Chains A and B, each alone.
Chain A
Amino acid sequence: MRARPGVLPPDAAAPADGDAASALLRRAGRGDQQAFAELYDVLSPLVHGVVLKVVRDPAQAEEVTQEVFVELWRTATRFDGSKGSARAWASTLAHRRAVDRVRSEQASRERQQRDAAAAIRDHDMVVDEVEAGLDQARVRRALDRLSELQREAVELAYFGGHTYRDVAVLLGVAEGTVKSRIRDGMIRLRDELGGEA
């Protein structure tokens, strides 16, 4: 019995996204370091911005951003544009690595003993920083169209790097409520900002 080869030979993978970053990532996948340098110029503010929002500590954020780019390089050989653009993949990777970093930190600090006051300060700080940091009117408008609970839940998860269970504690609402607000909020954001193929 012989397993059938994949449907997507490396070069035939027709890019669903025709964007420059994806083209650069495909070239980087063939070992082109110059293309990767150009990709770095295009994507590094996006990656570092996300990492910095979640990690907060500038020195640690730099470490994580660097890790993300090395990982992008290592996995560039397997980039598949039909599953999303290079921008989407880079921001996914950035968020995941940033969250890995803050959660492993938290685990080592016995997060079970988090006190409520700190949690509330944390929450306010995240929301304030996010509001202040949004320099794209379109995204700010889209976030403004969410209900308050939807927006807080999405922002605490994405920028705060919290699990939805933590978000429920921070907002003082049931976990099920947070789950559905996150879903409703993301659907609304998707409709406002695009995201459909």
Chain B
Amino acid sequence: MSDVDIHHLAAAYVLDALDPRERDEFETHYGACDVCRDDVVAFRRTLAEVAAAVAVPPPAAMKERVLAEIATTRQLSPRVAATADVVPLAGRRRVGTWLSVAAAVVLLAGIVTVLGLARRTSTSYADELAKVMEQDDATVTSLAPADGVQGTFRVAWSEHLGTAVLIGEGLPAAPAGTAYELWWFPQPDATDSPDSPNADGRLAMYVLDAAGDGNVHHVLDLPADPAAWAITLEPEGGAAVTTGDVIFIGAVA
């Protein structure tokens, strides 16, 4: 899908008229695109007007049912400042060819599983992952989950290709109104503010399929020189800086 095409999907997106694959692609895109985010906000406001024109009060008895149910329903914790610590890196280390071959062997079982899943979801994802893993500089970072967090996230990438592939599996559905969001941390020597990710450090947003198969597979343009990757839960529209707890994190070895 070309860049122009994806900007044009905001209208179909707010109408919930995209198929799941396109919706994922658009959400990936619009989290990082101010134009599309403005479109989404404006179109939603428009649709609220349209919705008001077809308003129908529900049966009176529903109010009591709703109030009874919320009285026993716990609210989500509000966004909390992220506090996960990342082991700082002494400096940039490129994985040597020999090591990457060894790593590839160790990872093989996992990658085969991923490819098997990928064929059912997106061929471009499987192709891109295969291309990345063929590179001499292929690197895979497994992100460590915070205590009690289910599922796995890995990022496979090649600087030579300029491509990163995000592989999330066995994940619980993101709580309603929230989405998993991926962040990258620049190398300490590559930024003026080495101690924190910033708005520029934000990569994109990936929302799990509502069908909830628990898998997230995305192909991204590799940001320059990543030092670490992290996943947080954010409001569905995406956040410009991290607001949720870091639930997965991994430093580049």
Please give the distance in Å from A53's CB to the nearest CB on chain B: 5
Interface residues of B (CB under 8 A from A): 8-12, 14-19, 38, 41-59, 62-63, 65-67, 69-71, 73-79, 81-86, 88, 175-178, 183, 185, 194-198, 210, 227-228, 230, 232, 235, 237, 239-243, 246
22 sampled A-B residue pairs with Cβ under 8 A: A2-B83, A6-B242, A6-B243, A48-B57, A49-B55, A53-B54, A62-B58, A69-B70, A75-B175, A75-B176, A77-B76, A89-B44, A91-B52, A100-B210, A157-B16, A162-B17, A164-B15, A189-B50, A193-B46, A195-B45, A196-B42, A197-B38
B residues in contact with A99, CB < 8 Å: 16
Tell me whether B11 and A187 are in contact (CB under 8 A).
yes
Closest Cβ–Cβ distance, residue A179 to chain B (whole Å): 6
Return the contact of B46 from the options A95, A100, A165, A186 (Cβ within 8 A): A186
Q: Cα distance A197–B85 when bound, in Å?
A: 38
Q: Which residues of A contact B (CB under 8 A)?
A: 1-8, 10, 29, 31, 33, 36-37, 40-41, 44-50, 52-53, 62, 65-66, 69-71, 73-78, 80, 83-85, 87-96, 99-100, 130, 133-136, 138-140, 143, 154, 157-159, 161-165, 167, 179-180, 182-183, 185-187, 189-190, 193-197
Q: Are B57 and A44 in contact (CB under 8 A)?
A: yes
- Does B45 lie within 8 Å of A78, measured CB to CB? no
Majority-rule SS of A interface residues: helix
Q: A83-B235, A187-B11, A190-B42 are in contact. Are A46 and B51 (CB under 8 A)?
A: yes
Cβ A96 vs Cβ B62 within 8 A: no
Task: Find chain A residues with CB under 8 A from B241 CB.
Answer: 4-7
